[in-house]
Amino acid sequence: MPWENRRFELFIPIIVACLMIVGLLALYSATRDHGLYFVRKQIVWDILGIVAMFAMVLMRERYLKIAGTVLYVASIFSLVLVLFYGTISGGARRWFDLKFGYFQPSEFARLSLLILNASLLSQPNKRNFYTSFFLTLICVGLVAIEPDLGTALLMGGIWFSMALVSQVKVKSLMRIVVVISLMVLLLFFFGLKDYQRDRIVSFFNPGRYAQGSAYNMLQSIHTVGSGGVLGRGFLKGPATRLKFVPKNHTDFIFSVVGEEFGFLGTALLIFLYFLLCWRIVKAIKFAKDEFWRILCSGVLATFSLQVFINMGMCMGLAPVTGLPLPFVSYGGSATLFLSIHLGLVMKAIAIAKSGTELQT
């Protein structure tokens, strides 16, 4: 085994496994009318995700650092291809139907951007900085066309977080902030579809859209609140059983946890995510070099933003965006690629441990 892979990080896989168990319980409750169909498929993806995490640790560092460009080109190709040949669901083309599961190119694109941007931003100069921004902008634009506004905005947020912790000059970053602000305004008034704009507007006035774009969010708020402190009990949630909350096995699975396991269950779930993010912060602190520090910062932004947005939309604290809850929501591509994200953090820890002892 190469010197850089002497030690496997076990804390992260254990936390991920705990999250997956919570997800499988909630998934079974939300889909028990279908027997174990969804649960079995998710177990397969969970296992593949765990394997992928450890596989990333075994990859040599020098190969990983040069993989960003190749992965980026492949991701752009897949993002363009899905616009023409992707499966249509809910008016969007976001997935390829592979028969044994669905592949979402935007998840692949997020991974490629993470590695490529870490390489570019770790060498701070104007050319690399603006190249990083425009390459990210291309992906954001293609994902927004699908349309998948939530993932597109998440990509932008991750890039900004990575640029913020890099050694890029504040003046250059502020120029981009002005450009992004203008683009967001133009997108809101001229680029969004009516239902997307309604989702944002309904967030500020949900009562007016109670039977329309705010319906899912309001139902989720009531469902989470009905769980009380201890919850109604596993498989005993009426809102979950009667499907009051649409998509409660994917985007709104947090409502299942809230109803059946109550405040204590949701607090435990949040605590697991906190432990995961805390471990990523430790990896950032002990990172071998700027590349690994920025890359791990991007992974931290990925999980913290996605968890906050998903839980926020289920509790009325954020607009509905369609982002899944990591390792809890049903989904193959998200589980696999988020596992690879954490595999990169495990790789960073393995490299750090080869020279510096990382305290647990």
> pLDDT digit string (tens) for 221-230?
999 999 999 9
Residue 213's pLDDT band, with cuts at 50, 70 and 90, is low
**pLDDT tens digits for range 310-321:** 999 999 888 888
- 78 in Cβ contact with 108 (< 8 Å): yes
Angle of the 149-165 helix axis to the 170-186 helix axis, nearest 10: 170
C-alpha to C-alpha distance for 343 and 360, rounded to whole angstroms: 17
Band (pLDDT 50/70/90 cuts) for residue 212 is low
Task: State pLDDT tens for residues 284-306.
Answer: 999 989 999 999 999 999 999 99
**What DSSP letter does each residue of 242-280 carry, written as one string?**
TT-STTTTTTTHHHHHHHHHHHHHHHHHHHHHHHHHHHH
Predicted local distance difference test score (pLDDT) of residue 1: 44
**Predicted model pTM:** 0.91
Least confident of 122-136, 142-156, 193-207, 292-306: 193-207
pLDDT value at position 28?
97
Residue with tokens 């193959």, as numbered in its chain: 332
Percent of the chain scoring above 70 in pLDDT: 90
pLDDT for residue 243: 86
End-to-end CA distance of the chain: 23
Amino acid at 209: Y
